[in-house]
Structure formats: C-alpha cells, structure tokens
Amino acid sequence: MSDLSFEQMLEESLKTIRTGEVVEGTVIGVKEDEIILNIGYKADGIITRNEYTNTSNVDLTTLVHEGDKMQAKVLKVNDGDGYVMLTYKRLAAENGKKRLEEAFENKEVLTAKVSQVTNGGLTVIVEETRVFIPSSLVSDTYEKDLSKYAGQEISFVITEFNTAKRRIIGDRKQLLVAEKQKRQEEVLSKISVGQTVEGTVKNVTDFGVFIDIGGVDGLLHISEMSWGRIENPKKVFKPGDHVKAFIKDIQGDKIALSLKFEETNPWPTAEQKYAVGNVVKGKVARMTDFGAFVELEPGIDALLHVSQISTEHVDKPSDVLKVGQEIEAKVVDFNLEAKKISLSIKALLAPAKNEDNADDEQ
C-alpha cells in the first residue's frame, strides 16, 4: 500500500518532463557504472558513467552515495528500458562554461587539477569543462618537460573564452610574473647599496653568476668575484651554492653584487710589502708579447716587462717563462693610485754581472 495520497499519485501521474529539461532528484541506487535517480516522475532517471564524468573507468560508488541530491539534464524521456536517460556532465559543463565566462570577465584566479599533459601544454577541468594552458603560458621560464605538472593543482586566469570555437585558454605565467614582481618590489624596498646579503646561485655564465637574494636576482660579475683574477666562473661556482656578498649598485630592478669586501682588499698594505727596491716572489699568471703578469698574492699582479726579464735580449716572455712558474724579482716601480707594480729580474742579475766583471779586472 503506497504512503502517497491519491492527490499526490495523481499529480505524479500527470507530471511531464521534456528532453533538455533540468530535473532534480535523489540518488536511490549506485553501481560502478551507473546512478539511479528518483526524479519524482513515473519513471526513475539513470546516469551512466559516460554521462557523469569525462574520467574513464572511474568507480561511481566512490563519488556518489544513496541519499545524495543532484541535478541532471534529460537526454531521453524513455531510454527503451523504462528509464529516463539523464546527463550530469553535460549540465555541469554548461554550468562550468558560465562559471568560466564569469571568471574571464572578472579576471578571477581559478585553481584546478591538471588532467592531461601534452607537448603543447596542460589541460585542466573546471566543472567538467576543459581549459587549455599552452606551454608558453605555463611558466615564466622556459620548461621543456611539463610532466611534473601531471595531477598537480595549479592556479591560472582565463585569457580567451570562445565557445563558438570551443576555445578556452588559461594563463598561469602572468600570475607568476605578477608574484615575482611583487616579491621584487618588497626586496628592493628593503635593500640598499653597501648592504651585505645572502643568496643562492641560480645560474652561472661566462661573464658572471646570477644569485637569488630572496625573490630578486643579483648579478655577481666576474670582475667582482675576487680581488684576484678569475678566469672561469664555472670553475668557482655552481647552481645551488650559498653565497654571501654585498650590494655594489642598484639601477632600477638590476642589482650588482660584489665579493670584493674592503677588509680583504690587499692593496692598503701593499705599499710597504712591495716598496721599490724590495725583492719579491710571485707566480707567472699570464703572458703577452710585451711582458708577463706575475701574481704576488691574490688581488695583486705586477708587470714584468719583456725588457726586464734578462740581461740578454728576449723576443717574447714565453721564450723563457711558463705560466705557473715561480720567479724572484725586484720591485722597480710602485703606483698605489693606479694599482700598478713593475718588476725586474734583470735588476737582480745586473749587479751580479758587474761583480763578475770587477773580479776579472783584478
């Protein structure tokens, strides 16, 4: 015996539904591949797995439970088996498109899980509606392999919404650029020239090292890496290295860093150590046709002119010297202001030769 009154049964028997109509009902049965819905009609509604979600092979019993309330759209009033064929995903997609159109107009930031990764970009699903994010708009830096984004939740904005062409484009890059800009402004407001900062090496080039100092990059030029001479930054630094430097200059968002701390400057004490007449030792660092540069200590190089290498004629320094060779020479000139020192091996050899000549005359 039905609990429904005669009036209720009459009302339900007279109730009509049409294809395309949105109905609301209560879940009265769930299988792995279908959902049965009481929609207050003489026949129950059925939603197959393919009409519930675009995700293949999903177990519907893990997503929907008896007693759940849900809306669906009528596909067929009679599917041939006495059920009303319904679709949930198409209604959700229609709602999703409206949602995305609003987000597009309002420039709203959305968050969704990446459902597919291709060479061309990423696909995310928002309320059963696909949004494509081209590879050029995934990050603010070039990324060849996008596989790391699979299954990740990412934030983006809709930059193109064209339902006629079924084209909905998302952009993650502009959010990252805006976030980086904000961090840069925060960092730049707190730093000043002369300040010591700490950071991590991001990239090493032939001309210098880019260091992240907390959201903004600073350039440590090869000429600012040491008081001595650095031939190749890649032999000194590698990505991930922790570096303590000081800010030498700030021009807009460009920050110049230096490791040439004044307390490690060798020149303030050089005048006494390398006074004219002092005999010093050093190592040949590099050579030219006109002379050899001798490293007396890190940061202080002296010139040994080709004419001062020997009492005999020397065509070019490489004829008698080698890079890395240790030599002893006399300081014949010192210019602190120009930071230049001149050496002479000849000045050490000449007195000895004069003494030999004096002995011969006796």
Q: For 220-269, what is each residue's pLDDT tens digit?
A: 999 999 988 888 999 999 999 999 999 999 998 899 999 999 998 999 99
In this predicted model, which residue has the larger pLDDT, 61 or 362? 61
Q: What is the pLDDT of residue 267?
A: 92
Q: What is the pLDDT of residue 1?
A: 41
Q: What is the pLDDT of residue 183?
A: 86
Total structural domains in the chain?
4
On whether both 247 and 286 belong to a single domain, the answer is: no
pLDDT score of 128 more than 80: no
On whether both 275 and 344 belong to a single domain, the answer is: yes
pLDDT score of 357 more than 60: no
| Segment 170-175 long-range contacts (CB within 8 Å, at least 24 positions apart) | 170/110, 170/124, 170/131, 170/132, 170/133, 170/137, 171/133, 171/137, 172/133, 172/137, 172/138, 172/139, 173/136, 173/137, 173/138, 173/139, 173/140, 174/137, 175/109
Q: What is the pLDDT of residue 309?
A: 94
Where does a domain end: 126, 145, 176?
A: 176
pLDDT score of 288 more than 70: yes
Where does a domain end: 59, 87, 115?
A: 87
pLDDT score of 92 more than 80: yes
pLDDT score of 7 more than 80: no
On whether both 80 and 127 belong to a single domain, the answer is: no
Where does a domain end: 240, 263, 286?
A: 263
Q: Tell me the average pLDDT across 51-68.
A: 90
pLDDT above 70 as % of the chain:
92
**Residue range of the domain that includes 124:** 92-176
Domain of 46, CATH number, reads 2.40.50.140
Q: What is the pLDDT of residue 4?
A: 54
Q: Is residue 181 part of a domain?
A: no
Choose the weakest-confidence range: 14-23, 42-51, 61-70, 270-279: 14-23
The pTM assigned to this predicted structure is: 0.58
Q: What is the mean pLDDT of the chain?
A: 89
Q: What is the pLDDT of residue 362?
A: 45
Rounded Cα gap, residues 221 and 202, in angstroms: 14
Categorize the per-residue pLDDT at 6 as very low, low, confident or very high, splitting at 50, 70 and 90: low
Q: Tell me the average pLDDT across 140-150.
A: 91
Q: Is residue 241 part of a domain?
A: yes
Q: What is the pLDDT of residue 17?
A: 87
In eight-state DSSP terms, residue 13 is H
